[in-house]
Amino acid sequence: MEDFTSEQLDGIATAYGNMARSLNQFQAQHWSELTHEQQLDLNAYQNSLLNRAQDIQTRICRPAFTNADHMANQILEATDKARTTIQKMENLPVAMNVGAITVALAAYAARANARGIEIALRELKELIE
C-alpha cells in the first residue's frame, strides 16, 4: 500500500475546495429555483467537501492504496470534471446528484475505500457525460 504524496494530497484538497466553491456559485445562480431542502443539501455538500479538504491539508487522514498515483489521478480528474460540469449545468436534479456523488467520492477517498471510489467514479461518469 502506498500513501498519497504531499503534492497529491494538496492537489486533492484544492480540488475539493474548488468543487465546494463551484457548488456555492451554482447555488447562488439558481437560488430562486431551489427548494429550502435543496439549499440545505448544497450547504451540506459544500461543508463536507471543505471538511475533507481540511482533513487532507492537516494530514488528519492519510489514505493508502495499492496504486496511489492512479487513484489520485482518478479522484482529481473526476472532481475537476464534476466542477467544470456543474458550472454550466442547468438541470437542478442532476446537479444535486453530482454534488452528492462528489461528496461520496471524497468520503470514500478519505477512508481508502477503493470499491466505493470505483462506484462513485462510475456514477459521476454516467451523470456528466
Q: What's the pLDDT score for residue 76?
A: 97
Angle at 71 between CA 65 and CA 77, to 5 degrees: 160
Domain count, the chain: 1
Beta carbons of 71 and 113 less than 8 angstroms apart: no
**Is the pLDDT at 113 greater than 90, yes or no?**
yes
Beta pairing partners, 64: 3
Pairing verdict, β 2-3 and 64-65:
antiparallel
Domain coverage including residue 102: 2-128
pLDDT exceeding 70 applies to what percent of the chain? 100
**Measured distance CA(90)–CA(123) in Å, rounded:** 19
61: left (phi over 0), alpha (psi -120 to 50) or beta: beta
Cell of 22: 463551484
pTM of the predicted structure, to 2 decimals? 0.93
